[in-house]
């Protein structure tokens, strides 16, 4: 029997909504900058263009990390933790029979899983409440497969 958990960021805007917001903001900045430039105040247009460039950098950072997520799969023979960050895949495979879990008592810290000297943190992309739910479910699932129980 295989159990799986999918943990992903809470992205409040779709890519289309982000582009629409960015486009309308850039248009407003250009209209304001051009309006002042037509009156002879060219530095305002320059600052508007700098704002647009800064917004573009923020948009690119958002787009690069919008699909970050973790996938945890617990099978009979292995516990697979897969984290995708900015398009880079990190995989760790642990033996579920020897996996120990440490749940921190303070918020913002991650759940630690360790087996045979390999340590990995999970719950990076979810809220504290979701981490607590994950910890309860994962602890129960690991107990059924542990030699240490």
Domain map (residue ranges) of the chain: 3-9+68-143, 15-65
Place of tokens 């850039």: 26
Residue closest to 86 by CA, chosen among 122, 61, 120, 121: 61
Mean pLDDT of 63-82: 91
Residue 146 has pLDDT above 80, yes or no: no
- pTM of this structure: 0.74
Specify whether the CB–CB gap between 86 and 9 falls below 8 A: no
> Quick one: average pLDDT of 82-93?
93
Average pLDDT over all residues of the chain:
89
The answer to whether 44 and 53 are in contact (CB under 8 A) is: no
Taking the CB of residue 66, how many other CB atoms lie within 10 A of it? 16
CA distance 3 to 19: 37
Domain 3-9+68-143 CATH (choose: 1.10.8, 2.30.29, 2.30.30, 1.10.3470): 2.30.29
d(CA 105, CA 28): 47
């Amino acid at each position: 029997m295989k159990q799986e958990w999918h943990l992903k960021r809470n992205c409040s805007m779709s890519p289309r909504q982000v582009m629409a917001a960015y486009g309308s903001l850039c248009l407003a900045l250009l209209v304001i900058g051009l309006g002042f430039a037509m009156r002879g105040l060219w530095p305002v247009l320059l600052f508007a263009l700098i704002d647009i460039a800064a917004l573009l950098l923020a948009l690119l950072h958002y787009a690069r990390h919008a699909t970050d997520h973790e996938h945890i799969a617990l099978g009979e023979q292995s516990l697979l933790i897969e984290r995708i960050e900015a398009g880079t895949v990190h995989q760790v495979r642990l033996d579920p029979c020897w996996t120990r879990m440490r749940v921190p008592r303070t918020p913002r810290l991650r759940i630690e899983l360790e087996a045979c000297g390999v340590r990995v943190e999970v719950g990076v992309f979810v809220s504290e409440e979701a981490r607590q739910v994950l910890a309860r479910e994962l602890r129960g699932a690991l107990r059924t497969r542990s030699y240490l129980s």
